[in-house]
Amino acid sequence: MVIREFVNDHNRKALDWLHHDYEHLGKQLRRRGVEVEPLTERAMAFRVAVPSWGVGTGGTRFARFAGPGEPRDVFEKVEDCELVNQMVRVTPGISLHIPWDEPEDAAELLAFAKARGLFFDSMNSNTFQDQEGQARSYKFGSLTHTDPAVRSQAVEHNLHCLALGQRLGARSHTVWIGDGGNFPGQVHFRRALERYLESLRAIYAGLPDGFRMFIEHKLYEPAFYSTVLNDWGTSYYCTRELGPKAFSLVDLGHHAPNVNIEMIVARLVQLGKLAGFHFNDSKYGDDDLDAGSIKPFQLFLVFNELVDAELEGVPGFDPAYMLDQSHNVTDPLESLMTSAVELVRAYVQAHLVDRAILRGAQEENDPILALQALKLAFTTDVGPILAMARHRTGGAIDPVAAYRASGYRRTKAEERPAVASRGAGIV
């Protein structure tokens, strides 16, 4: 099955209205003194990595409803990532999770990805589950466990991920741990943080040349009373303690409801410690829903801070963009395509903000004018720019429609008879 033919076929029918809408938007923007072409080039250059664990159906502690044609190993996950990138053209990077994606032969996996125009982005370690035959359990923590033998087991796992990441051409390593307590008194807050830093220093010392280390804070879950790395402030303190190659990763779902995440982003940019993002959306907890599906204005405001820093040329500003979602009721590939499109939308809209007007309003303490400057950008339908960017880079004008027309899922269902998934990594 040559997806390219389906995409071309599909695009041919849509091209006329696309050109019409694109020219119309161009005229509208020109009235605002904005040229459409540079925005389309920015949309074409945007990049976000997809999570290997996001191409299979996710689940909750209550149930997992596997769909047809689930990927059964890392190679089939890479195939599905290729499909997503063929449709939206902004997702050539894949973020792997170890041991869920542990390859027998790293060189074979790297060649398999390269042959599909893909590369491996940030590696993710896993010391929040016990693996078959594991010597010591992570039930009471990993990098912060009171038993030094458990801590060094967890450090060894992270050093293994670093070595594997280097062989796979990755450039960063993400550490998220669930360590914490469920009851008051269970964990000594200060000693646990000291143990965390001691373990991170051992991992940091093993960073291959050119690697960056990302630490990911989270308010709660799986610990439900205290989490060792619970917020951005503690994360920032740790990255400062570790050194210049350590940065704080912001997972949008890891904050209490209504926390001003765009302000946390501005802080970490200003402090030179923003690693990047795990983009997703949520209504209540760490729901890992599709990016931009619940709070699209918040996503826009996050990109407004990022574009402000990008245009200002903030030194060292090089955030890594990744999706981190769990697709429980949708076709995961449709969710990943749609989420990638929503990120490009927020990014292009953020480039539509008239920063001279915004700055003037801020300096003159004119809140209405400032908000209007943001809302004008957020309420601009940049759909034609996004579709034109996909079309010009060989992608689908309407990714989900082209995907459904391709019958990819049906074909995979025939090719991949449902078996108990091996290392699919259900979050």
Rounded Cα gap, residues 149 and 153, in angstroms: 6
Using CB distances below 5 to 8 A depending on partner kind, what does residue 345 bind out of Mn ion, ligand LRH, none? none
Closest CA to 425 of 124, 33, 3, 45: 124
User: With binding defined as CB under 5 A, does residue 278 bind Mn ion?
Assistant: yes
CB 107 within 8 A of CB 167: yes
Q: Is 251 in the site for Mn ion (CB under 5 A)?
A: yes
Contacts with ligand LRH, 149-178, as mask; x by CB under 6 A: ---------------------------x--
Q: Which does 6 bind (CB under 5 to 8 A by kind): Mn ion, ligand LRH, none?
A: none
Q: How far apart are CA 226 and CA 421, in angstroms?
A: 33
With CB under 5 A as the rule, give the number of residues binding Mn ion.
3
Q: 80, 94 in Cβ contact below 8 A? A: no
| Cis preceding linkage at 71, omega within 30 | no
Q: What binding mask, one character per residue, do residues 253-292 give for ligand LRH by CB under 6 A, x or -?
A: -------------------------x-------x------
Residue 286 binds what, of ligand LRH, Mn ion, none (CB under 5 to 8 Å, by partner type)?
Answer: ligand LRH
| 324 touches Mn ion by CB under 5 A | yes
One-letter amino acid for residue 395 of the chain: G
227 SS3 class: strand
Nearer to ligand LRH, 72 or 278 (CB): 278
Cβ-based nearer residue to ligand LRH, 180 or 395: 180
Q: Where are the beta strands (DSSP E) in 280-367?
A: 320-323
Shortest reach from residue 174's CB to Mn ion, in Å? 8
User: Which of 57, 124, 248, 421 is in the footprint of ligand LRH by CB under 6 A?
Assistant: 124
The answer to whether the peptide bond before residue 222 is cis (omega within 30 degrees of 0) is yes
What minimum distance in Å lies between the beta carbon of 340 and Mn ion?
16
> Residue 281 — φ and ψ, nearest 5°?
-145, 165
Contacts of 10 (CB under 8 A, 6+ apart): 396, 397, 398, 401, 402, 405
27's tokens: 């005229």
Binds 101: which of ligand LRH, Mn ion, none (CB < 5-8 Å by kind): none
Q: Which is nearer to Mn ion, 70 or 251 (CB)?
A: 251
76 contributes a contact to ligand LRH by CB under 6 A: no
216 scored as a contact of ligand LRH (CB under 6 A)? yes
Q: For residues 188 and 422, what is the distance between their CA atoms, to the nearest angstrom?
A: 37
Judged by the rule CB under 5 A, the positions of this chain that interact with Mn ion are: 251, 278, 324
Judged by the rule CB under 6 A, the positions of this chain that interact with ligand LRH are: 53, 124, 176, 216, 218, 251, 278, 286, 324, 427
